Chain A
Amino acid sequence: MGMEDDILKDFLAESKENLELLDQQFVELEQDPENEELIKSIFRTIHTIKGTSGFFGFTTLEGIAHFAEDILSKLRDGLIKVNEDITTMLLQSVDYIKAILAELEANGKEPVDTEYLDFIVDLRNFSERIAKEASGSPEEAQGEEAEEKTQEPAEAEQAKDTKETDKSEKEKEPAEDKEAQKAKDEKKGTGKNPESEKSSEKPKAAKKKPAARKPAPSATHLTETHVRIDVHLLDQLMTLAGELVLSRNRLTQLANQLNDPEFLTANQRMSLVVTELQEQIMKTRMQPIGNVFNKFPRIVRDLAKTAEKKVQLRIEGAETELDRSIIESIKDPLTHMVRNSIDHGIEPPDIRVQQEKPPVGTLTMKAYHEGGQVIIEIVDDGAGIDPNKLRKKAVDKGIITEEQAEALSDREALMLIFQPGFSTAEKVTNISGRGVGMDVVKTNIEKLGGTVELMSEVGVGTTIKIKIPLTLAIIPALIVTSQGQRYAIPQVNLVELVHLNPNLMERDVQRIGNSEFYRLRGEILPLIRLRNVLRLEEEQQQESVDEGMNIVVLNAGGHLFGLVVDSISDSEEIVVKPLGSHLKHIPVFAGTTLMGDGRVALILDVVGITSSAAAGDDAMKHGTVVSTKAVEDDHQFLLLCTIGQEEYFALPLALVNRLDKIKATDLEFVGGKEVIQYRGHSMPVIRLENYLPISPLPEQDEYHLIVFHMNHKDIAFLVSQIDDSLDLAIDVEEGTFKQEGILGSAIIKDRTTLFLDVYQIISMHDPDFFTQEELIANVPARILLAEDSTFYRNLLSSYLTGAGYEVVATEDGQKAWETFQSDHFDLVITDIEMPRMNGFELSRKIRDEGGNKDIPIIAVTSLQGEENRQRGLEAGIDDYQAKLDRDQVLRAAANLLGEKAMETAA
């Protein structure tokens, strides 16, 4: 429908222009009947209308145009000459055409009125008569023609009759009917005795009917609602509007400085107008996304046919508007994705039926506005994408190594599809695999400042979500300064702003190796200093400590980081201007813009900043942390530290509350335990050599302190050196170093590193440290633990056992399920992402197959997500906890076991 609407609009606009011209041309023609060019031009116009109306199925319009064209063709061929009658008839035709067009524009339908049909009849007869006059041998010519033509009007008549039934003009009906009937009779009569009928008919048509009809058509004015404008003119207007916005910004600054109330008011008023003007001009560039979506019904139909699948296309939000230039550039990526969905996503009908899906697959294209962006979703209810298949493929193709593939979360594995050189089609069909990969799709969308996400569930379907900005020309941006220069950060990337006063800064910003981190509501946020990224000379690092710290939290393609800037100013609408060829290659800049004071500011490229930070030599460590800051399971930020020269340790950074340095002289012995005065409290300090078989901490003037805050108390480990922090997929071996206080070992940076069991060590130091009524098992309970990572398995069983539970640990869901069937347990704690059987499946199995609705199930993840929580609830999981959060896990366990005990008691 949409596409036709568009063509219709174009057709109407074009016809209107031409018809205005026609009026004039007809008049000219009367003065200059021999003018062939004029006749040809008129003929072409009518011909076009005839063709297009035929395409749309506007029969009345087509009819009028057809006979008018007939007459014109004879004029053109010189068979007849223009006379007043002909001109009148033709002008009448034009009036009727106009009337129909007006109706079409208003209602999208042809007018239902016999008046028009009557006119067709008149016109046809007139045309016939002329034809006879022209041929000079009436009998012959008319025999065939008449027979042929009587059919058409008869059909028209029928159509009219059916239409008329639902017409409201009741009074008119009888009269019209009679007339129509008469016309019909006349028509039939023409074949029999042409001469007499013809002559008597003509005057009737000329005299009687025009009187009745003319008012109607001439009353309809075809108002000019569309004007064709050169696109360049629009672009120019856009640029000028941009400049105007800049000047306005400058004026606003001046007005604020001068503080003259009158000036302020005047400026405010102008400001409003300029904003409005800019919006309106913007609108000239806006087009509904339907312009692109419209092409898809056809594409989908053809593709489905070729692929021998049944697909129903649903389009939602076709009216969503966005910049014309963007619309043009998203067409190809969209086509490609739709192609993929049909080719790889939606299954053939027989398979769908087997899977109890409707045989016709549904493909939905949806567009909507969200937060200043346009979201386009392509949803299919097909087979979905199997992340394992992608992993395998990627390894086969040498895109990633096997280890990397295993380390990928399912979500990340899905993103493999966007890797260059990746095509999931097992066989290349003529639909997909034309050499344009999904990587090109992604690149093209990213070029527009957009992002692509892919979500898929095997057997359920795939959703591709594209986010693109509304327009590219003017963007809202945040202005920040660093070393006295202003920089603009596109608002799209902005998540939040944080200002730390010096006290908070000391508490929450941690420096590990060369990297800095900030604890943002418990999450660890890597910090990048803008001045470092831009390689500006460090003036005084200390100076910023006094003023606190300004952190702009940014989202760079899915992961967050904090950009530290000197100060944060306003948010402004900026006009993006490209950088010159000498500067284009600098990755951290996306362009330039002019500020209100006429000076230039550089626009930062947020993604470029992270990659640039990674590329810089000394910034290498920031980079690895940032770019691999993964949100998936089993990845953890680890803190690496040493004792003496050769003992290397690692522990999860998330457990650490802060890091500090102390002087050896600050250490005190109280009651046989080592403590230190720390923030007004006396804090116990643990030397690891007391609990682990390692060489003792050598005497140093200064020690590093790793402070934990657990169970409302502070406690610290004493180490020689804090080396670094790394984001790693934790893969520990437990064999060699299995002992209390150690979770296992791994090779990190070519060194054997021991993973500390922080909870265990603290408990060894102070058995009562974690004593807290609610967290201790008050009933003896057996817990089944499913966790594939050795590290976490050991950690979890360590603290669960410590809390008094009996723990049976298994290394994946399958194993857990087998164990569950052969034994009795009071509680299940399971990881989500596991090989063979994941946590959701395990939970479902326990609930459904095991028929055990009562046993509490807790899922543990490295990071929680609302999405997982939802899925978990559906799978029958009772609670969600972070693996490392001992207190919460224990509390949840105690609560759930307590509830269960209550229930059974009752």
Chain B
Amino acid sequence: MRQTNETLPAVGEKGKVIEMAMAETSQFVTFYYGKHFFGLPIDDVIEINRMLDVTPVPMAPDYVSGVVNLRGQILTAINLAKRIGLATTEASDDDGKEHNNVIMGNREEPVSLLVESIGDVMTIPNDEIEPPPDMIEGINLKYVNQVCKLDSKLLIILDSKALEKAENNKNN
């Protein structure tokens, strides 16, 4: 916001300014899990879908809640909390809970990320985005790309590639 204000006086360059401002911001789809606030770059998200029926898959890795049917395409549903190692109090016993689906990843084989609730799409200036701190309580940092300090909370920007990457042949 500050940026735009500063450059406002130069009327003749208005179009250019907006362009610049756009180039210097990024948009994120945000969502909540427990007390944490997460975001994914909007380009990594295909669609948001409420309440898809999750069919459990026995013997699946712990973080996989099951599979969902998205218009004939069958997607793997990944529980965000379990995937990123959120403290067990938040992740446990939530299999019965209703989740929202953030359909994300590459178009060949998207995955459905199960989150508690969906937030807004936020536009954030790039220079407010920082690398993640050395530690975020209860979260495996390998899934975190960046963070952004907002007024009241921390937006944790997730790494969609890490989230969707299969860890095959693990014992389960």
B58 at the interface (CB under 8 A from A): yes
In the complex the two chains form, what is the Cα distance from A485 to B54 in whole Å? 11
| Complex partner residue of A582 from B53, B58, B60, B69, CB under 8 angstroms | B60
Contact B72 A246 (CB under 8 A): yes
10 tightest A-B contacts by CB? Answer: A534-B58, A580-B76, A581-B166, A600-B55, A582-B166, A582-B76, A592-B74, A600-B67, A585-B168, A577-B74
The reply to whether A602 and B69 contact each other, CB–CB distance below 8 Å, is no
| Residues of A with C-beta under 8 A to B67 | 579-580, 583, 592, 600, 602
Closest to B63 in A: A582
CB closest residue in chain B, given A530: B58
**Known contacts A243-B72, A534-B59; A580/B111 CB under 8 A:** yes
Question: Cβ of A485 and Cβ of B169 under 8 Å apart?
Answer: no
Is B75 engaged at the interface, CB distance under 8 Å to the other chain? yes
Closest B residue to A585 by CB, please name it. Answer: B168
User: B19-36: which have CB < 8 Å to A?
Assistant: none
In the complex formed, the residue of A with least CB distance to B64 is: A582
**A479 vs chain B, min Cβ distance (A):** 13
Residue in B closest to A593 when the chains form the complex, CB atoms: B74
B94 lies within 8 A of chain A by Cβ: no
| Docked pose: A509 CA to B118 CA in angstroms | 52
Known: A577-B74, A599-B53. 14 other contacts (CB 8 A): A243-B72, A534-B58, A579-B74, A580-B76, A580-B111, A582-B61, A582-B64, A583-B64, A586-B59, A589-B57, A594-B74, A600-B55, A602-B55, A602-B67
23 inter-chain pairs at a CB distance below 8 angstroms, sorted by A residue, are A243-B72, A485-B56, A534-B58, A535-B58, A579-B67, A579-B74, A580-B109, A581-B76, A582-B61, A582-B111, A583-B60, A583-B64, A584-B168, A585-B168, A585-B169, A586-B59, A589-B57, A594-B69, A600-B53, A600-B55, A600-B66, A600-B68, A602-B57
Minimum CB–CB distance from A612 to chain B (whole Å) comes to: 8
Residue B84 CB within 8 A of the other chain: no
* A588 and B168 alpha carbons, distance in the complex (Å): 15
A585–B75 alpha-carbon span in the complex (Å): 15
Any B CB within 8 A of the CB of A536: yes
Interface residues in B151-172 by Cβ distance below 8 A to A read 166-169
Enumerate chain B residues within 8 angstroms of A588, measured Cβ to Cβ: 58-59
* Chain B 54-95 interface residues, beta-carbon cutoff 8 Å to A: 55-61, 64, 66-69, 72-76, 78
> Distance (Å) between the CB of B79 and the closest chain A CB?
11
B80 to chain A, nearest CB (A): 14
User: In the assembly, what is the distance between CA of A666 and CA of B143, in Å?
Assistant: 66
A108 within 8 Å of B (CB atoms): no
- Residues on B with C-beta less than 8 A from A592 are 67, 74
CB distance from B139 to the nearest CB of A (A): 20
- The CB with the most chain A CB atoms within 10 A, among B57, B78, B109, is that of B57
A286 touches B (CB below 8 Å):
no
Flag A560-590 by CB within 8 Å of B: 1 or 0 each: 0000000000000000010111111110110
B102 nearest CB across to chain A (Å): 16
Distance to closest chain B CB from A564 (angstroms): 15
Partner of B55, one of A582, A585, A601: A601
Complex CA distance for A534 and B60, rounded to whole angstroms: 10
CB closest chain-A residue, reference B112: A580
Given contacts A598-B69, A599-B69, A600-B69, contact A485 B55 (CB under 8 A): yes
A565 to chain B, nearest CB (A): 13
Interface set, chain A 585-627, CB cutoff 8 A to B: 585-586, 588-589, 592, 594, 598-602
CA distance A583 to B72 in the complex (A): 18
Give Cα A583 to B57, complex, Å.
Answer: 8
Shortest CB-to-CB span from A602 to chain B, Å, is 6
A residues within 8 A CB of B64? 582-583
Given A534-B59, A535-B59, A581:B69 Cβ within 8 A: no
